[in-house]
Amino acid sequence: MRDFYGVTLQTPMMLGTARYPSPSVMEAAFISSGASVATVSLRRERGAGQAFWDMVRGLGVHLLPNTAGCHSAREAITTAQMAREYFQTDWIKLEVIGHADTLQPDPFGLVEAAEALCADGFNVFPYTTEDQVLASRLVEAGCRVLMPWGAPIGSGMGLNNIHGLRTLRAAFPDVAMVIDAGLGLPSHAAQAMELGFDAVLLNTAVAEADDPVAMARAFGLAAQAGALAATAGPMGQRDMAAPSTPLIGKAWL
């Protein structure tokens, strides 16, 4: 498994901390999922109270602060610097939103912010698209992890561009990659891992399920199953049928 800035995750599951019915449900969902990483928002955590912050720290997972809601490089850089002081980590999930409806990243602001944050000693996890040119610019800026979207945030549509994601994965074999955003079903997580990605990150699909704890477990198991399938070496697709039963021993009438 590829490492994340020197850290090897115990499971390929990353989970967000927003939109749950209650803090206790969020805590139970994390435990059920077996997630290794929790994404946290500076804006939300600062107003959530010490009890909630203590609960998040008590999960025993790696914290990945994000710059959610930032629409410019300057705003994202400032938020990242504040998050580093508040959460005491150099990890930052970099989001620079460029489109209000799709929440698609702004590629120009994203690269600008990534360059500045990498130079400032941050370990940057950029939320990006499956665009290879943008990926190249982010890697050149110093990013050793990429987080391409599966589909727009919160849409639940799964992996919209299988070819693009597969091509991106093949183009950067040494870069850790996480499918971030758009996953709605556990099967989407398994599919992402089967494509060779290193982890999945989701929030809404678990937090807004009728039973978030059960859904969290389903996603955790699906991500691990997909990872195991990828390392096991899946069979290739064929154009024609191939019988699994040999002809030897068949009765000829």
CATH number at residue 18: 3.20.20.70
User: For residue 31, is it within any domain?
Assistant: yes
Ranges in the chain, pLDDT < 50: none
State the chain's mean pLDDT as an integer. 92
Number of structural domains the chain divides into: 1
Range of the domain at 89: 13-232
pLDDT of residue 51: 78
Whether the CB-CB separation of 195 and 158 falls below 8 Å is answered with: no
Residues 6+ apart with CB under 8 A from 189: 13, 179, 183, 200, 202, 219, 222, 223, 226
pLDDT digits (tens, 9 = 90+) for 221-247: 999 999 999 999 988 888 888 878 776
Q: Which amino acid is at 158?
A: G
pLDDT digits (tens, 9 = 90+) for 116-138: 999 999 999 999 999 999 999 99
User: For residue 247, is it within any domain?
Assistant: no
User: For residue 131, is it within any domain?
Assistant: yes
The count of other CB atoms within 10 Å of the CB of residue 98 is 15
User: For residue 115, is it within any domain?
Assistant: yes
User: For residue 27, is it within any domain?
Assistant: yes
Whether the CB-CB separation of 137 and 115 falls below 8 Å is answered with: no
pLDDT of residue 48: 59
User: For residue 175, is it within any domain?
Assistant: yes
User: For residue 239, is it within any domain?
Assistant: no
Binding-site annotation, residues for 1-deoxy-D-xylulose 5-phosphate: 154, 181-182, 203-204
pLDDT of residue 47: 53
Binding-site annotation, residues: 154, 181-182, 203-204
Residues 84, 93, 144, 169: which is the catalytic one? Answer: 93
Beta bridge partners of 148: 128
Residues 6+ apart with CB under 8 A from 133: none
